[in-house]
Amino acid sequence: MSKTVLMKGNEALAEAAIIAGCRQYFAYPITPQNEIPAYMSRRMPEVGGTFLQAESELAAISMVLGAAAGGVRAMTSSSSPGMALKQEGISYIAGSELPCVLVNVMRGGPGLGAIAGAQGDYFQATRGGGNGDYRTIVLAPGSAQELADFTVDAFDLADQYRIPVLILADGYIGQMSEPVVLPEPTGKTFEKPWALTGAKGRSKNIIASLKLIPDNALEEHNLHLQEKYDLISENIRRIDTYHTDNAEWLIVAYGTAARIARKAVDRLRDEGVKAGLFRPLSLWPFPDRELHEIARNAGKVLTVEMSMGQLVEDVKLSVNGEVEVDLYGRAGGAVPALDDIIERINSYERENHTHVQAS
């Protein structure tokens, strides 16, 4: 059993990548994820791996593509504006069906924005910021422990499905120091007969996203990708729930926003208000059926996010009009205030009480 250590979230993630067997890491500096490349620059030489500070985000993600094509575990990390640049390579990696792990420690935008944590890249992460019909698995950790655990898991998922897996964290989770029990390696191994290792004793392998011949090759490829995405949607349903069993008022949040929401649930429960928290741990696939099942018994759903109405779209799609969905969004590095969440839920209580009296 590993012992508990105090680590910054970003460093816990970096060490977890090493534990998972990642030996190729390429990145470009950007705040608030700089602890990851700094950590990797120390650790990779110790474990015989590659740390390379790339000339750009475009280059870093392409280096990941090259290493992944060689059949080894590769990772890059960045923050919001840097992730925007990486979308080119992510689309190619998705089209080429290569496994890799991507990390976005989100900061405020749009543009250069600011360096404080935010969740404004939800659309970019879950809808695909690059060109074409593709998906990436998106995991949403809410603590240093989850940053570590989800990273180890991410490498297995990437290899299992030959897909990029994105860890969508925010600057607060990445920067905060917390007790962490570093995960053990899973020990899972994956055959990679498609890897480019030289055509020795086999015919040549080609990895490309270009599909020209025959005429329907690209549509066939897209249909194949879609089948894979459907399979992933069936298999990956990750949620964490807190006091949702009899929740009258259901909060939906992830990452830092969910930590604050959880506290709000505690306070509301202390006051006798039946609040609960639904925390999606996978943002794509979004656990829509699970949310629907829980939300249908609630009086109202409140989405709390550090963006101006992005997560709330998936929440609305999940409940499909059956339950009213409200939004409390903060942006630009601001975090949702505990009192504001409590007051919003209390306002539902008052509203409900009035309705009951009137009827």
Partner 1 sequence: MSAKTIPMYKRPKGLTDVRTHYCAGCGHGIIHKLIAEALEELEVLDRTILIAPVGCAVLAYKYIEVDGLEAAHGRAPAVATGLKRALPDKMVISYQGDGDLLAIGTGETIHTANRGEDITIIFVNNAVYGMTGGQMAPTTLEGQKTLTSPYGRNPAEVGFPIRACELLDTLESPVYIERTSVHNPASVRKTKKAILKALKYQKEGLGYSFVEILSMCPTNLGVEPVVGADWVKDAMIPWFPLKKFRDRPEEKKEEKQAS
- In 3D, which of 27, 162, 156, 26 has the Cα closest to residue 94? 162
Instruction: For residues 5 and 323, give the distance between their C-alpha atoms in angstroms, rounded to a whole number.
Output: 43
Instruction: For residues 27 and 41, give the distance between their C-alpha atoms in angstroms, rounded to a whole number.
Output: 10
Residue closer to partner 1 (CB basis): 165 or 295: 165
C-beta of 62: minimal distance to partner 1 in Å? 4
C-beta of 290: minimal distance to partner 1 in Å? 37
Structure tokens at 162: 């030959």
DSSP label of 208? -
Instruction: For residues 225 and 29, give the distance between their C-alpha atoms in angstroms, rounded to a whole number.
Output: 32
Question: Is 272 an interacting residue with respect to partner 1 (CB under 8 A)?
Answer: no
Q: Which of residues 23-62 bind partner 1 (CB under 8 A)?
A: 23-24, 26, 50, 52, 54-56, 58-60, 62
Q: Which of residues 66-105 bind partner 1 (CB under 8 A)?
A: 66-72, 74, 88-89, 92, 96
Residue closer to partner 1 (CB basis): 66 or 179: 66
C-beta of 53: minimal distance to partner 1 in Å? 10
Type and span of the H or E element at 180? strand 177-181
- In 3D, which of 54, 1, 49 has the Cα closest to residue 28? 54
Phi, psi (rounded to 5 degrees) for 246: -120, 30
Per-residue binding letters, 210-239, with partner 1 (x by CB under 8 A)? x-x---------------------------
Residues, the chain: 359
Residues paired with 301 in a beta bridge: 250, 325
Q: Binding segment for partner 1 among 138-146, 182-190, 205-213, 215-223 (CB under 8 A)?
A: 205-213
C-beta of 23: minimal distance to partner 1 in Å? 8
Per-residue binding letters, 173-202, with partner 1 (x by CB under 8 A)? -----------------------xxxxxx-
Query: What would you measure as the largest C-alpha separation in the chain, in angstroms?
Result: 81
C-beta of 223: minimal distance to partner 1 in Å? 20
Of 47, 112, 208, 217, the residue at the interface with partner 1 (CB under 8 A) is: 208
In a 3-state reduction of DSSP, which class is residue 38?
A: helix
Instruction: For residues 247 and 97, give the distance between their C-alpha atoms in angstroms, rounded to a whole number.
Output: 41
Query: DSSP secondary structure string, 292-353?
Result: HHHHTTSSEEEEEESSSSSHHHHHHHHHTTSS-EEEEE--TT----HHHHHHHHHHHHHHHH
Structure tokens at 37: 């490349």
Please work out the total of residues on this chain that contact partner 1, with binding judged by CB under 8 A: 41
Q: Binding segment for partner 1 among 132-140, 147-155, 207-215, 269-277 (CB under 8 A)?
A: 207-215
Contacting positions for partner 1 (CB under 8 A): 23-24, 26, 50, 52, 54-56, 58-60, 62-72, 74, 88-89, 92, 96, 196-201, 204-210, 212
